[in-house]
Amino acid sequence: MDPEKYSEYDLEQDVHRITLYSTVAKDHQHKSMKKRLYLHLDMNCFYAQVEQRAYNLYGLPLAMGGWRKPNGIARGIVATASYEARALGIKTAMSAFEASQICPYLVFMQIDYDKYKGISRQLKEVMDRFSPDVEKYSMDEYFMDITFLKKRGRSAIFSFMKRLKQAIYEELGLVCSVGVAMSKTWSKLASDLKKPDGMLAILSPDDAAQYLYPLPVDEVWGIGRRRYEHLKRYGILTIADAVKRGKVPFQKLFGEMQGQLFWETVTGKDRAKVLQNEVHVPDEVSYMHTFSDWTDEPDAVKGEIVKAVRKVCYRMRGYKRKARRWGCHIRFQEAHWEGRSFAFNTPGFTNLDDYVLEHCLPNAMRIVKSALQKGIKIRGVGLHTIEMQQTEQLEIFFREKEEMRHLYRATDCLNNCYGPDTVAKAAIHESVKGNTHFVNRS
């Protein structure tokens, strides 16, 4: 994968969940059987921690993504929260109103990605001094190959972890959790077990049996809820079960090659590389905007749908991916805060806004107008891909218009150089007014 093709696109623009974990791909693994040592570093509550440092909010419960209206009522969705807030029961994706009911003195702040990206770059500079092989997996998660320490023993490895954590704290004023293991998968599990500000090294079978074997299989990188449900039917609930049962059940469920890959990932036998200058392409590209207040203006909702399509298609062009099956969600403001979802197809695989809008807008606006006629206002819109492929593949019965592809390429170049809204469809100016999770769109 050529990083030069991606570098001009801001693929983290307006993205809450930057990291979407998927199982380690076969072509991202070492071919040799040589044992290696990996470190995973996770910045604890990164956004909240940065703001606590910036505004001296240490010790206060802080929620990122919400705000208060002039009358004091909290709006928005909690994107993440400090550990002080989490201890009170504040959770990610909770409504700000609900969070304020739990903790009336909760501090709300909006997300400032430019600030976090700058600090993330500083973090990478610190880590580069400790190893030549550092992978930025997301803004606040990094992997490091530390195989050079493998033969130096446990005390040397813990000393290295302490020095890394200390350097980050001294230079950035931030704390992190660090995990070390002989696979990337297990190093991530190890760092998760010692939050916040902790360290854990899985260096022997006894370490694995004590700390990792009791974990549910769906805690593992790449094993989601659906796969976990399949595995439970085979009696595989924990990592210990997977180790004991071997790879055969995985191969029966997921196919010979994919099943083995899943089993290796779960049991820490994968040989994943630390990928430098690689762009991690998610399995799904999505966008969701919950309005700061409900609206009954159909043109404003239409503008938000246009914006959602624009955001998703822009990122897909950056990832060099196209989709032909999509999902859209219209969120209602009612007792249960539910809504209507629908799937739709484009004529073929595409990442151009016009094709998506042509097949999304009619269905979406019918739902919007039907809800408004019943007195139900609209609270948010979302869009996500259901089926994606690489853009190099050609189709027999569908071709994007050449002039349209050139138009979007030129538009992207201008927006990448001069800002994301330099060139845009006029309809986005009909968007719903109010605050958002993001400082740059408030």
Active site residues: 141
Q: 198-223 in b/e burial notation, b at 16+ Cβ within 10 A?
A: bbbbbbeeebbeebbbebebbbbbbb
The DSSP line for 269-313 is ---B---SS-----S--EEEEEEEEEE--HHHHHHHHHHHHHHHH
The SS3 assignment for 14 reads: coil
Residues with Cβ within 8 Å of residue 163, at least 6 apart in sequence: 130
Residue 142 phi, psi dihedral angles, 5° rounding: -135, 150
For tokens 């006629």, the residue is 373
Closest CA to 161 of 37, 335, 24: 37
**Which tokens go with 221?**
């990188």
Closest CA to 62 of 10, 95, 109, 29: 109
The DSSP line for 148-176 is GGGGG-HHHHHHHHHHHHHHHHHHH---E
